[in-house]
Amino acid sequence: MSRALTTFAPFRLTASLLQRFGLGGRSLVIAVPVLWLAVFFLIPFLVVAKISLSEAAIALPPYLPILEWDGERAIFSFNLGNYRYLLDDPLYLNAYVFSLKVAFISACIALLVGYPMAYYIARSPEPRRTLLLTLVMLPFWTSFLLRVYAWQGFLRSNGVINNFLLWTGLIDQPLVMLQTDFAVYLGIVYTYLPFMILPLYANLVKLDPSLLEASADLGARPLATFFNVTLPLSMPGIIAGFMLVFVPAIGEFVIPELLGGPDTLMIGRVLWSEFFSNRDWPVASAVAIAMLIALVIPIMILRNAQAHAQEET
């Protein structure tokens, strides 16, 4: 018994210290994710925001400090020219617009492909459902970089697809698929498709079958039942899956770099170029902060709209 008390003594001491600081029960559960977000999101965000307000310099690190001490007073120097430079140079605006277009179209394609798959998995019997979910998550067991590299072997002029089409006689010369926007869309949809399927499946599997039976008993055809019952009830899963594909696709770098052409100018490639090629960390940080703001504002508006819709219902 004494050994058990000695073993659990550190846990009891930790619990008593947390309770003394007012972190007990529900507060402790909330404190863990808050601490995680503060350490791995808020602090890096503040560091990047600070760099975006500085000036580039030939130094290590390659920017000037925004706070200096002359012995008697602290001098703050904020440089807003980095953000003004983003508005003056059309390169960044074009990269933002193209990234939004690619992410939106890719999310729409992933929704069109992933919804039937998620619906079929949700309506499958239990043994088959487990197998299908395993197949959906199977690509995660392989390196993301290797999967993108594999598409180069499929899409290049002497790749698997062109060789097969030439062998069947459907084409006379190889199709240009690699280093095109089509390859970028294909790579993004393939990579992020599980992020669309899993939220949709989690929503559709909870759908009450009696609602579909009631719709059929009232004389509705299967297509009308889908658009009037299934689709509205699966809207939370659609929104969640769409955002899980749309948000990371905007800042994607690896897929446009490996599958896209030189004119495939997405914001992730611009960030990499500013950080590592131009060594202009302040401008690169301003690009990152502007992209984050452009993403957070519509997400907050969407969340507020969802909250109001839930309150009304």
Question: Distances from the Cα of 67 to the Cαs of 62, 73, 224, 247, in angstroms?
Answer: 15, 10, 64, 34
The token pair at 102 is 């690619």
Range of the domain at 209: 89-279
Quickly list DSSP for 64-79: --SEEE-SS-EEE---
Phi-psi region of 180 (alpha: psi -120 to 50; beta: other; left: phi over 0): beta
Contact 209, 272 (CB under 8 A): no
Q: Which helix (H) or strand (E) holds 253?
A: none
Is residue 62 in some structural domain?
no
- Domain membership of residue 4 (yes or no) is no
What are 79's two structure tokens? Answer: 């440089």
Which pLDDT value is given to residue 311?
65
Residue among 137, 125, 131, 121 at smallest CA distance from 237: 121
Cβ-in-10-Å burial (0-12, 13-18, 19+) of 197 comes to buried
Residue 39 belongs to some domain of the structure? no
What's the total number of domains in the chain?
Answer: 1
67: in domain: no
Please give the chain's pLDDT, 313 residues, in tens.
444 444 445 556 555 655 665 555 666 677 777 788 888 888 888 888 888 888 888 877 888 887 777 667 777 778 888 888 888 888 888 998 999 999 999 999 999 999 999 999 998 888 889 899 999 988 888 888 889 999 998 898 888 899 998 998 888 888 888 889 999 999 999 999 999 999 999 999 988 888 888 888 888 888 888 888 888 888 889 988 998 999 889 888 899 999 988 888 888 888 888 888 888 888 889 988 988 887 887 777 777 766 765 665 5
Residue 71 within a domain: no
Nearest in space to 104 (alpha carbons), one of 295, 275, 286: 295
Tokens matching residue 216: 């059929």
Q: What's the rounded Cα separation, in Å, for the pair 283 and 275?
A: 9
Q: Please report, as a single letter, which amino acid is at residue 180.
A: T
Instruction: Output phi, psi for 76, to 5 deg.
Output: -100, 135
Does some domain include residue 26?
Answer: no
Dist. CA 109–CA 101, nearest whole Å: 12
Residue 250 lies in a domain: yes
CATH number for position 182: 1.10.3720.10
- pTM to 2 decimal places: 0.82
Specify if 254 maps to a domain: yes
